[in-house]
Structure 1
Amino acid sequence: MLERCKNARERWGGVHKLIDSWLKARHELIRAFDALGAEPEALAEKREPLQDFCVVLVDYVSAGHLSIYTQLTKEAEAFDDRRGLDFAKTLYPRIDVITEMLLTFTELCDQGKCVAEKFKELGALLHERFELEDCLIEVLHNAHKEQTVAQA
């Protein structure tokens, strides 16, 4: 029994560290966005910083889809959290739509077609995505923190 408790703490504590790392990446993304957004009309002149931003954006989005969401779902499944899993299923389609829009933005930038209006739209999309991701973290991870601690 103690071994099972130890494994739960190690397993889901690792998810916590993964989320912390991802939230740090989010902070870096926001910083890069804010630096470019100070003068969105001048985006064409900021080719290198814009490309750097796009790399950070793609890395952040990829981490969510390839790592974070999977781990959050596995954690909810391990705790047999049907309500949380059902909730996640309602959010994932919107996150997917936002992801496609974000990646389209990076493609426009690669083609040299990044304009101020698109950059402003990007800010609203990022804001919405962050809110959805925070909901996922709250429902699929934070809801199980106490159970993990109790098992330890």
Structure 2
Amino acid sequence: MLERCKTAQERWGGVHSIIDRWLQQRKGLIISWDELRQKASFTPADTPNIQAFCELLVDYVSTGHFEVYEQLALEARDFHDDTALECFKRLMPEIDSNTEIVLEFQDKYDTEAHCNELLVDLPFALQALSLVMDERFGYEDQLIEELHEAHSEQSA
């Protein structure tokens, strides 16, 4: 997943500063996630790292919803790109559904008490979240690519 993140940054990093920051957030999220996934089991001593990961996760998702997606939609409208707007209409329900799953994970591990109660389930929860986030990154990359293509065609 980290390699996919690097590829996205290389392809679209210069499109917009908001996207640049967001892709950096994605990279930090993936690094934190990989550190957690390398552990075979968790103890209460791991709770601060788990909660930090949850914070990164929510920050990443929030930035997408409240900054990036909105900006991508505005730019697609500015370029009068109906194909990009159709891409938004098609992918946003998938992303919204995905967001619900991410927030459910965060709700389970958001406090020390919640986290400590569910430590034994965390490896499985991280594995399931990995599938969800990989799918999400794919949807997000499609949105960015559609916008990038609109810019390339209109600028040429």
> TM range, normalised to the smaller chain?
0.7 to 0.9
AA at the equivalent of 2:24? K
Given the alignment of the two structures, is residue 145 of structure 1 paired with residue 151 of structure 2, yes or no?
yes
Mean alpha-carbon deviation: is it higher for 108-117 or for 122-131? 108-117
List structure 1 runs of 4+ shifted beyond 3 angstroms. Answer: 147-150
Counterpart of 1:97? 97
AA at the equivalent of 1:119? L
Which ranges in structure 2 are unaligned for 5 or more consecutive residues? 1-13
Query: Relative to structure 1, is the Cα distance of residues 89 and 40 closer, same or farther in structure 2, using a 3 angstrom cutoff?
Result: farther
Given the alignment of the two structures, is residue 123 of structure 1 paired with residue 123 of structure 2, yes or no?
no
1:16 CA drift (Å): 1.1
Q: Distance in 2 between matches of 1:28 and 1:16?
A: 19
State the TM-score, normalizing by the size of structure 1.
0.83
Among all aligned residue pairs of Structure 1 and Structure 2, give the percentage whose two residues are the same amino acid: 38
Q: Distance in 2 between matches of 1:83 and 1:144?
A: 9
Question: Which structure is higher in RCO with an 8 Å CA cutoff and minimum separation 6?
Answer: 1
CA deviation string 1:12-67 (max 9, x = no partner): xx961111111011000000000000015326541010000000000000000001
Counterpart of 1:6? none
AA at the equivalent of 1:144? A
State the TM-score, normalizing by the size of structure 2.
0.81
Instruction: Answer whether contact 1:40 1:119 (CA < 8 A) is retained.
Output: no
Report the count of equivalent residues: 137
1:144 CA drift (Å): 2.7
AA at the equivalent of 1:84? A
Q: Distance in 2 between matches of 1:89 and 1:131?
A: 16
Larger Rg: 1
CA deviation string 1:67-121 (max 9, x = no partner): 1000000000111111111121111111111111111101101222352211110
